[in-house]
Structure 1
Amino acid sequence: MTRRTVAAALGALALLVAACGGDDESADAPEPSPSIRTLTPIALPPPPPPTGKLVADMRQSSRDAAAGRMEVWIDNDTAHEIRPRRIVYSDPRYRTTLPGTRLRPIPSQSERGFPLYLPPRPACDHPDGRGTITVTYDVQGGARDTRTVRVADPTDVAGRYTSARCLELAIAEVADLRWSDEVPWDGKEGSDSTLTLLVTPTGRPGPTLTIDTVSGTPVLSPVGSDVWRPDVTVRGTDRPQEVALPLKPTRCDAHAFAESGGATAFKINLHLGGKPGQITLRMSSAGAANALHYAKDSCGRLLTVG
């Protein structure tokens, strides 16, 4: 927890105490019980002085993941606003540096997030590492400075992406996996549909791929079980196949549809060459639109705002 977070928490406590001690007397109000104390608001603590440092950490929302990016958040703990001119993320797990986007000023003792678009081919022979961010910026008076700081990554955003993407590239040596854009159903409220996984082997010999389970999302779920269990084994020399997965809406409230950035991103647990792994396979924009249209129409009158 940062120092400013602690100060904000103390401020909120002070406001709560003030609210408890408010004056709400009226002519008909009974005399207060002698057992009830009147609380006096406490003074807000002064904000901590700036340390003069820049601090950075990595984050990723479901919408970031869907857009193929992560965000580096820079905390400007200096006495002046800074205006970034260039932000560059360096990491041995990536073949090139990643430029920060949406550059904008960072006020003193505030933080801002800057999207970094993830590379399609990370350095799979360098699975370990830790990133740094180099910020070139202007300060008050027109002076320019450059600083390089380590990027904290408590949820291992960069590492998880590298592992997952390298696994996807290895799977692509055996077969191409993708969701069909078609989400067929009979048009009746409450009806089930079908999610179809298209498996197209490469035609080359190699390791065996086994698809063990597929998980649903906050919007779309398997019919009759907690996960789909296709139990499909694929070799690079096999024929193409379609894997049909019975589909239903997970829940019928508008909040689920509005808030779930991963509504059509399905986690697939598998074994490649006997080793377990997991990838997230997203539907195309057209397929996602069809799937969400099906779920909303299937919910019909059950779709609520709550």
Structure 2
Amino acid sequence: MLAVLLAATALQGCTPAPGQQPGTTATASASPTPDSPLTAELNQFRDNYSKQIIEIQLSNTTSAPVTVLAAELASPMFPPGSAWQAAPGGTEIPPNQTKSLPARLRDPSCHAPAEASADRASDEPTAAAEVHVSFRQGSATLDQRLPAADPFGVLARNYAELCLAKAAARVAVIGLAPGLEIAADARTAVVRLTVTPREAAAGTPERLSIERIEGTTLLAEPPETPWPRGVVVVAGGAAAEYRLRIRPARCDAHAVAEDKVGTLLPLLVDVGGKKGTLKIAAGAALKGQIYGFVTAACGAH
């Protein structure tokens, strides 16, 4: 598997509706099912970008509390089972407020690029998503299907990234080796990108191209030691290790304290004609070392 962090975080809380300022009254962003007190919207917190965890955001549009007992995503992009793990007794949404319910996406059933329709811009399913929700209000317990607004394209982005990762994994295992090599002056360091091709199957070996490696909110490429470009990886080929010298991309006071995605290294790849960004996550120990390096390097300036 690719070195992608998959630890789940079961967080939930009352929040203003997406895009609102704290303390304002929540308003629904999707038309409710007739007679439904709830509307649904999909979002994803930045610290869950590499974890396949999205937020089912349910808004209570009435003046009475609603207790949500279950919520599950229904989308042609993902098989059934992308559901919020409810606590016993569910969770209450106060009047005119929104609650975010985390749900881990199931692995998508991806189509090979050749299977995409020639007149389609992409091979992503396009039908609208729904949320199947069970809730209690007053003495009534109801099961309803709510249209789920997705204003930020959360499902399409996750579908594309996960399918690209699955395609790349058929060619090679790509990851970041543990251990950070820090230069004597503490201003730069080296991370090691490892590429281990899979065994070649019968027929033409599958291949991918790492067109370039991009920086992150924390890490940048030193101009004098550029990162490799145009790396071709072929199933059945030899393993390789690429030493990437890094420097801090920013040194403001909040760079490390507020980091969410700074240790996810983006690789722009082409896998059999499917192009996109493959995000390679640092393991827990390496992540901590990177944070320590950025803090020390910024302090040395």
Q: TM-score range by the shorter chain?
A: 0.7 to 0.9
Q: Distance in 1 between matches of 2:148 and 2:224?
A: 41
4+ long deviations beyond 4 Å: none
The residue number in structure 2 matching 1:124 is 110
- Corresponding letter in the other structure for 1:130: A
The residue number in structure 1 matching 2:40 is 56
Which structure's CA Rg is the greater one? 1
The residue number in structure 1 matching 2:131 is 133
The residue number in structure 2 matching 1:164 is 161
Residues 159-198 of structure 1: matches in 2 within 5 Å?
159-189=156-186, 191-198=187-194
When structure 1 is superposed on structure 2, of 164-173 and 86-95 the one drifting more is: 86-95
Output one character per residue of 1:260-301: Cα deviation in whole Å (capped at 9) or x when no partner. Answer: 200101221112224432222211112211221222122224
When structure 1 is superposed on structure 2, of 240-249 and 60-69 the one drifting more is: 60-69
Segments of structure 2 that go 5 or more residues without pairing to the other structure are 1-16, 26-34, 112-122
Contact 2:52 2:158 in 1 (8 A): no
Contact 2:73 2:80 in 1 (8 A): no
Higher RCO, Cα 8 Å, sep 6+: 2
- State the SS of the aligned residue for 1:271: strand
Indicate the RMSD between aligned Cα atoms, in angstroms: 2.6
- Corresponding letter in the other structure for 2:49: A
Q: Distance in 2 between matches of 1:262 and 1:284?
A: 13
Q: Could you tell me the percent identity over the aligned residues? A: 22
The residue number in structure 1 matching 2:213 is 214
The residue number in structure 1 matching 2:11 is none
- Corresponding letter in the other structure for 2:71: I
The residue number in structure 2 matching 1:267 is 266
- CA change 1:9–1:91 in 2 (3 A) is closer
Is residue 115 from structure 1 mapped to residue 99 from structure 2 by the alignment? Answer: no
Q: Distance in 2 between matches of 1:5 and 1:223?
A: 39
Instruction: Choose which of 199, 202, 211 in structure 1 pairs with 2:195.
Output: 199
Q: TM-score normalised to the size of structure 1?
A: 0.76
Output one character per residue of 1:24-59: Cα deviation in whole Å (capped at 9) or x when no partner. Answer: xxxxxxxxxxxxxxxxxxxxxxxxxxx854211111
Q: Distance in 2 between matches of 1:52 and 1:151?
A: 13
Instruction: Choose which of 63, 67, 73 in structure 2 pairs with 1:83.
Output: 67
Is residue 96 from structure 1 mapped to residue 96 from structure 2 by the alignment? Answer: no
Contact 1:209 1:233 in 2 (8 A): yes
The residue number in structure 2 matching 1:241 is 240
Q: Distance in 1 between matches of 2:246 and 2:161?
A: 25
Output one character per residue of 1:40-90: Cα deviation in whole Å (capped at 9) or x when no partner. Answer: xxxxxxxxxxx8542111111211214330101111112310011111111
Q: TM-score normalised to the size of structure 2?
A: 0.77
Contact 1:194 1:244 in 2 (8 A): yes
The residue number in structure 2 matching 1:72 is 56
- CA change 1:158–1:82 in 2 (3 A) is same
